[in-house]
Homo-oligomer: A and B are copies of this chain.
Amino acid sequence: MAEPLIYVGLDVGGTTMKSAAVDDAGKPLSAPVIMATEPERGQEAGLETMCETIRRAVKAAGVGLADVTAIGVATPGLMDIKAGLILDPPNLKPWKNVPVRDHIRQVFGKPTVYQNDANAAAYGEFWVGSGQAAKSMVLFTLGTGVGGGIILGDVIVEGEHSHGGELGHLRIAMPDRGRLCGCGARGCLEAYASATNVVKRAREEMAAWRGATKLRQYYTANDDDFTSKHVFNLAAAGDECALKVVDDTAYYLALGACAVISSVDPEMIVFGGGMVAAGESFRSRIDTYVRQYGLPFPTKTVKIAFASLGSDAGFIGAAGCARLAVKAK
């Protein structure tokens, strides 16, 4: 009997990195190993932490390094995917031009692939998550920012400059009228629909709201601890002002989805990140707006869903990318 195929996925974030070994069916062989990224300790230390996280993940899986077929590593942008380089990402400062892929390949002597973290998460959901039955899928990741990944069959749309699926910077309003985004431009989806900007819009909405709203009450008492989660909770409890903020968020996300439909026309669009805790009522609002504002023919059948792998999507997807590369040979 042939040995089972095992892939290790590593998902590097600004605060922590996560890794686990995953079998050929996408099932993690253990809970993920989590270590602090501590980019401020420098990139040498960072590379060593990556290797150590991988080593511990292999151990946690109860296998040996010899059992590992390939390794997949995902990091946040800016990056050069083809060259395997972290370039200069804002949340990994002061790292610059870090040869992640080649370093890990050398240390472990295994085929190693490198991918953008949102692309990896998208591939994870496509491989074994919400999109596993789909032939093409687009993921929007909703967090402090908005990211994304586009998967068309076996093709992960990396882009010529490693910027494929930068869906947070799809513009949903004209620059002269759009909200200001953290990137400096106006009108980006992220400027409307990231967790940070849901809170910002909630503040604006409550300031202009006539009559009572629990949003204002809550905010006045807890302004240091006022997150998009509270907005969604108050909406779920029936607060009209919070409901408007949530409904607008669904509308903005739907406009992002419509742009993706007009460009790549996927079978399925998946939303992941903290906001999906808001559940079916939020999903169905997005769904309704997509069908209202999207191209009639594709929106007859395009599927709108929430992600199912949570924060494991990144390392599972990274492992999946490694598997894809090995199988393609």
Determine which of B136, B255, B266 lies in contact with A171 in the assembled complex, contact meaning CB atoms within 8 Å: B255
- The residues of B that contact A259 with a CB separation of less than 8 Å are 170-171, 259, 263
- B169 lies within 8 A of A265 (CB): no
Band of interface residues on A:
35 or more
- B262 lies within 8 A of A166 (CB): yes
Whether A136 contacts B150 in the complex (CB less than 8 A), given A170-B262, A170-B263, comes out as no
Determine which of B165, B255, B301 lies in contact with A263 in the assembled complex, contact meaning CB atoms within 8 Å: B165
- B297 lies within 8 A of A265 (CB): no
A residues 297-311 touching B (CB-CB < 8 Å): 297-298, 300-302
**A210 interface residue per 8 A CB criterion:** no
Cα A258 to Cα B157 with chains together (Å)? 16
Whether A258 contacts B171 in the complex (CB less than 8 A), given A159-B266, A160-B265, A264-B157, comes out as yes
Whether A160 contacts B136 in the complex (CB less than 8 A), given A265-B166, A295-B166, comes out as yes
**A167 interface residue per 8 A CB criterion:** yes
Determine which of B155, B161, B183, B265 lies in contact with A164 in the assembled complex, contact meaning CB atoms within 8 Å: B265
Spell out A's residues near B (CB within 8 Å). Answer: 78, 135-136, 150, 152-153, 155, 157-167, 169-175, 177, 183, 185, 255, 258-267, 293, 295-298, 300-302
- B255 lies within 8 A of A174 (CB): yes
- B262 lies within 8 A of A169 (CB): yes
